[in-house]
Structure 1
Amino acid sequence: MKVKNKAHVEASIVEAYLVEEISIFTSQYFEPQSILNFPGRSSGALKKRWLSGSEGYIIETYILINCEVVTPYYESFLNELYEHYDSKEPTIKELVATQFKDWFKHRVKDEINYTGNVLLKLHYWGPTTEVIRLPCYFVNDYNFHTERHSVGKSTFNCGVCVKSSLYTNTNSDFYGILEEVIQLDYPLIPNMQIVLFKCRWVNPVRGMKVHPRYHLVDVNFKKVYQKNKPFILAQQVVQVYYTEYPSMKRDKVDRMTVCKIKARRVVDDSR
């Protein structure tokens, strides 16, 4: 409701829009201090389900790796691995995926009894295994729909992209389809939540091609990323959509072209 003063309707509407635009503009310069309760909103009918044991382990490990309060422990764990495994990257990644969560909880078990860091305690106890499934989620100024929720709709809102740390290298980006949006709750502190996207990712080596001159990206969803890492934080995702490749050649019939979408209310500073 934009009208606060019915005696001056037009001025009240203008004032409300000015306040909204100023708050949106200034918010571009500030980042949330935690991955918990990142700004976003859901819509549609909510459902609940239980995470499997493997899902819960993968999710909690991923959250710990991406949490700032856990970063010193993660770096310490990596240093221990590098001392024993001579920086063999495949081995290091596998050990992080299978051992870091247990190592972290064993390491901080005694610390949480006297530390004043509430977030450290929060991640030690972890989230509940009962999660809420969301059909739609608005985050990063994008309106995301799950693949199932998008069926029969005129818009395509389930295309996702995760930018690599090398922002100038398009070859390092990951592209996929949003299959599920889940909300995790942390029982230690009321109303502490994290929203994750479960996606089907294209294999970045075998299923993706980038034009060397125009940097256009083609993907093939028949060549999916087989590694067991489907989850991503909602705030790490940008939206894309896929269109059929304009060719009838046999080697290109399964390809789709990636089209990037500009986020709503984003200030265009390209000029």
Structure 2
Amino acid sequence: MEEEIVETLCMFERFFPPSFFDIMVHLVVHLGREARLCGPVHFRWMYPFERFMKVLKDFVRNLARPEGCIAEAYLAEECVRFCSQFLKKTTGYEEKPDRNAEYESSSILEGRPISAGTCCVLSEKDMSIVHLAVIQNMTIVEPYVDMHLQHLQDTNEKCRRDATILWRMHSQKFASWLKEQIPISSDHHDETLKWLAYGPRVSSRSYTGYIVNGLRFHTISVDRQSQNSGVLYEATAMCRSSAKDTSQMVDLVTYYGRVLEILLIDYNTFYIPVFRCQWANIGNGVKVEDGFTLVNLNQSQMAYARDPYILASQAKQVFYSRVDESSSWYVAMRGPTRRYREEDAEDGHLDVGPMPAVVAMDVDDLVDESRNARADCEGIYV
């Protein structure tokens, strides 16, 4: 790397004027030797200190007394920070929340909307589809899913022999069966579970923006340069080799899509946010080439007509970059969340990105016999 950098700069001198070769271009010459002697960059980088120097420079209000301005402003900031920490524990004072923070609400189970809502009335078919998607993905209802599957196998011989028929019957009858098992007048079940079993109202609220899991989502109708409508959903699904295959197996499947509509489903005492999405077909709409995942979103949605909804808490954000203007394929790229939680750092689950490779260094590598002083002129002691 050291030799190639020097040769590259020499080739640049054939095309660029001397004014191009300032100190920043010259520093590239030393990168190879610094990596060999010092190891990974993140142990010795100066970016945090340079950013803090920018903060200190902003403290200067009197150019004739820069040091005094920095000292007084730094002391004032320390006092304000101490007071804010003290008041936070003694009074109801709170700092400004993060941009993608979720406000706690007793009516919305998770997340918060960031746009004006509009009332909408879902059809009976859409309401049954979205209600089935909610109750099959809520943790509190999971035991009843297993109970209903076992009930179908015990009462229907076809369901016991064929897994396809079993899941079809489960999708058709689970909502009504759950409502019979958990009546609204029962005192032996949780209130949330009773209202989930009772079912939602026909009217709901629609939004164009929503924050959940530290991510900011917008519908595809919002025309913005920064796209926030891409969504990724990892689901455990029943897979089979063909339509005639009766022996199915459970596997983790990744679905790529875009958010078409954000709905708050009204369950009388609380709201559950759901996303209606446009999904890419798993068979011929998703492929992997050269390590990149390519997604084609301009295909028929008939395969997802009965299941276009997901819970907002299940959505992960993904960004799409078109291969070229004439292509219908997009490169799917996942972005990190902006939310930092201390419990994630303590548990070791914090996403910090890929770390640099480990550099093996010996004692001989620390010895640098190259001369760094010029011999053609008199030096100046600093």
Bin of the TM-score, shorter chain as denominator length: 0.7 to 0.9
CA deviations over 1:119-148 (Å, ceiling 9, x no partner): 232123222111111110011111111011
Choose the corresponding residue for 1:98, options 156, 172, 175: 172
Supply the AA of the counterpart residue of 2:288.
V
Aligned 1:203-242 pairs, distance under 5 A:
203-211=281-289, 214=291, 216-225=292-301, 226-227=303-304, 228-242=306-320
2: CA distance, partners of 1:224 / 1:158: 19
Q: How many Å separate the matches in 2 of 1:221 and 1:164? A: 19
Asked if structure 2 preserves the Cα contact closer than 8 Å seen for 1:163 and 1:172, the reply is yes
Confirm or deny: 8 A CA contact 2:256 2:280 kept in the other structure: yes
Structure 1 residues without counterparts, runs of 5 or longer: 1-6
Q: Which amino acid aligns with 1:124?
A: A
Match of 1:53 in 2: 124
Tell which structure's C-alpha radius of gyration is larger.
2
2:80 maps to which of 7, 12, 16: 12
- Cα drift, residue 74 of structure 1: 1.3
Task: Give 1:180's aligned residue.
Answer: 261
The question of 1:122 aligning with 2:195 is answered yes
Q: Out of 69, 72, 78, which is 2:149 matched to?
A: 78
- Report the Cα offset of residue 82 of structure 1: 3.3
Deviations for 1:132-191, whole angstroms, at most 9, x for unmatched residues?
111100111111110111x2x21111000002349xxx982100010000012222x3xx
The AA in structure 1 aligned to 2:138 is: C
Once residues 16 and 218 of structure 1 are traced to their aligned partners in structure 2, the CA distance between those partners, rounded to angstroms, is 48
- 1:198 offset after TM fit, Å? 0.5
TM-score by length of 2: 0.56
1:106-117 correspondence runs (5 A): 106-109=180-183, 112-117=185-190
Q: What's 2:214 paired with?
A: 141
What TM-score comes out, normalization by structure 1 length?
0.77
Q: 1:112 offset after TM fit, Å?
A: 4.2
* 8 Å CA contact 2:336, 2:351 repeated in 1: no
- 1:15 and 1:256 map into 2 onto residues whose CA distance is 50
- Partners of 2:111 and 2:213 within 8 A in 1: yes
Q: CA deviation at 1:72?
A: 2.1
Give, in angstroms, the shift of residue 199 of structure 1.
0.3
For 2:287, what is the secondary structure of its paired residue?
strand
**Residue type at the aligned position of 1:178:** V
Higher strand share: 1
Please state whether the residue corresponding to 2:232 is helix, strand or coil.
strand
Is 1:243 aligned with 2:321? yes
Letter in 2 for 1:268: D
Cα separation, partners in 2 of 1:13 and 1:90, compared to 1, 3 Å? farther
